[in-house]
Structure 1
């Protein structure tokens, strides 16, 4: 049974993150240290350096031969359920959209498993709980964050191409119409002349562009390289050389801290505008995010866990870890790709505030049902 001492351990793990958050907030709001351009540079530093090394560091130390594949299967089923529901919502509902489906996927599936999950699961279920939450972190980094990167890059590549072709098409229309008085063309004919070069790329050429961009993003392969090392190290009992270990640690240790700092400043600067409130996305979107994070995610996980036959403490760990606070990495990606970063930052900040009582409540309810 979780006690006050265990709750205190979780609080101790979370408070340093809020220190970094407040420093980031104060650096812009109170002390005016950074300009919007400098804030963007900090975000890119986090996205392309500290987070990839942080991901590699914890992935490289997992034992892939001792993973609970039923637990991983339950997680995959829960994610599949959410993807199907969001796809149907985007396709069939007037209020649905591709962009909001991406953000809703992040809000309902991606968790801060290491920072909050490890101390919490250790207090609730001991080493078994810690082992499972680390496994979920590895799978999230390898599969689901890579999937998120792919759809974000796909969206940006398609948007950039559309914007560039519209610009080219507009210039062609203007030039053709300007000469129409001498070649004797009507306006409609001018548009028809210009329209062939506004045609979009094929699906496969767009996919090729996306994969090329992903290949240049260290977040895409940091987890894959880490897992490859984990397989080799555990199969043949290799140990990472200390000089390599320390070189990775010196940057990876800054991963969560710099991410929280970046989030703190981003509550002030977002798309080069100043916000005077921490809840940048508004109350209704905040409630929407909390419902997805703490209700929809655990509900989908419960369905997946029951479907594969999980029971006892493993079932309870599966449900509770799905209700952990929002992934910090999901905010960093949202900020980098310019998609609802205010919603994700609010989900991370307030998610961590309300998560402790909610997670303890989940624990008590599941223990009572048991």
Structure 2
């Protein structure tokens, strides 16, 4: 049963995040320390250095031979269900779009399990719940955040091509001919690239992005170290830890910088804030409940599966949204307000699920 001491542990885990957030916010809003370009540079530091190293360090220390693969299957099925719904919405609805499908997937599926989920679920269901939350975090980092990065890169690459094609109309007649003559020779007559050509370009870009393989390298090391009982050399581990320990803090600091650059504290408005909360605290858990029952989860494992799906928004999803220019205001609001309202929501789920057998 959850007591005040358990609630205090959750608050203790969350409070430092808001300290980093406020420092970032104040440094731009009131102290005027950073310019807009410097804020973008800080976000790139987080995106390409601290978060990949954090992901590697985290996944490198798990035990891949001791996982609940039925739980992992339920998690995968729940996310596939949401992907199918979003794909149908984007294809069939006049209001559907590729960009909003990506954001909606992030809002409904990607969680900040380690900061909020671990202390709270430990109080609810003990060490078993912590193990499941950690496994879910590994699977999220390895599969779903990598997939998110892939579709964001596809979107940006496609938009860059469209921009270059549109920009071609602004050239004068002489510059445009010269180019047409060259394009005839090279075979580029401004046709939209095929899916495979686009995919090749995206993979080349992802090869330069450490986020796309940090978790893969980490889980590979985890397999090797657990199988043959080898330890990472201390000089390498120390080099990784010095940056990875700053991952969550610098991510929240970057979010504070972004918030300070907005005209309003809630940059996306009340309606989108509510939309994000509904996806996070209702759509995600409902999809997880359906998938968990379908694969045969029951008892406390079923309860943990549903509750962990309602854990607040992943901070990494905001960093990616900011880097790729896709609804960063919605994701930042989801992270901040999600962590504020998560405690009563998760306790409410806990109380309701006590009646589920």
Which category of TM-score, normalised to the shorter sequence, fits these structures? over 0.9
The residue that corresponds to 2:50 in the other structure is: 50
The reply to whether residue 318 of structure 1 matches residue 278 of structure 2 is no
Residue 4 of structure 2 corresponds to 4
Whether 2:82 is the aligned partner of 1:82: answer yes
Provide the residue aligned with 1:134 in structure 2.
134
Consecutive unaligned residues of structure 1, counting only runs of 5 or more, are 179-195
Compare CA radii of gyration and give the structure with the larger one.
1
* CA displacement 1:67-114 (0-9 Å, x = unmatched): 100000000000000000000000001111111000000000000011
2:183 is aligned to none
- 2:116 aligned with 1:110: no
2:213 paired residue number: 221
1:363 aligns with 2:317: no
* Aligned counterpart, 1:91: 91
1:103-141 superposed Cα distances (whole Å, 9 cap, x missing partner): 000000000011111111111111100000000000000
Compute the TM-score of the two structures, normalised by the length of structure 1: 0.92
Mean CA deviation greater in 196-205 or 38-47: 196-205
Q: Residues 28 and 257 of structure 2 are in contact (CA less than 8 Å); yes or no, is this contact kept in structure 1? A: yes
**Offset of residue 202 of structure 1:** 1.3
Deviation readout 1:313-359 (Å, 9 max, x if unpaired): 00000000000000000000000000000000000000000001100
1:176-214 per-position Cα deviation (integer Å, ceiling 9, x unaligned): 999xxxxxxxxxxxxxxxxx8321111111100000001
**For the residues of structure 1 that align with 2:221 and 2:310, how far apart are their CA atoms?**
30
Quote the residue 1:183 is aligned against: none
- 2:315 aligns with 328
Q: Deviations over 1:143-193 (max 9, x none)?
A: 000000000000000100111122225537x44999xxxxxxxxxxxxxxx
Conservation of the 8 A alpha-carbon contact between 1:165 and 1:197:
no
1:309 has 2:296 as partner: yes
Q: Which shows bigger deviation, 310-319 or 116-125?
A: 116-125
1:295-327 CA-to-partner distances (Å, cap 9, x unmatched) read 000000001100100000000000000000000
Question: In 2, distance between residues paired with 1:5 and 1:89?
Answer: 44
Structure 2 counterpart of 1:16: 16
- Contact 2:168–2:176 under 8 Å retained in 1: no
Asked if structure 1 preserves the Cα contact closer than 8 Å seen for 2:26 and 2:260, the reply is no
1:30 aligns with 2:30: yes
Please give the root-mean-square deviation of Cα atoms over the aligned residues, in Å: 1.5
1:247 equivalent in alignment to 2:239: yes
Aligned position for 2:202 = 210
1:197 aligns with 2:189: yes
> What runs of 5+ residues in structure 2 fail to find an aligned partner?
178-187
Native 8 Å contact 1:289 1:347 kept in 2: yes
1:284: which partner in 2?
271
CA contact (8 A) 1:169 1:197 kept: no
Cα drift, residue 369 of structure 1: 3.2
Q: SS at 2:94's partner residue?
A: coil
Q: What residue is the counterpart of 2:182 in the other structure?
A: none
Q: Write the deviation string for residues 212-247 of structure 1: whole angstroms up to 9, x where unpaired.
A: 001100000000000000000000011112222121
Deviations 1:265-304 (A, max 9, x none): 10122xxxx41x2111000000000000000000000011
Corresponding position of 2:249? 257
Secondary structure of the residue that 1:33 maps to in structure 2?
A: coil
1-side partners of 2:76 and 2:174: how far apart? 53
SS in structure 2 of the partner of residue 64 of structure 1: coil
Aligned pair in 2 of structure 1 residues 219, 176: CA closer, same or farther (>3 Å)? closer
Question: How many matched pairs?
Answer: 348
Q: Distance in 2 between matches of 1:333 and 1:358?
A: 26
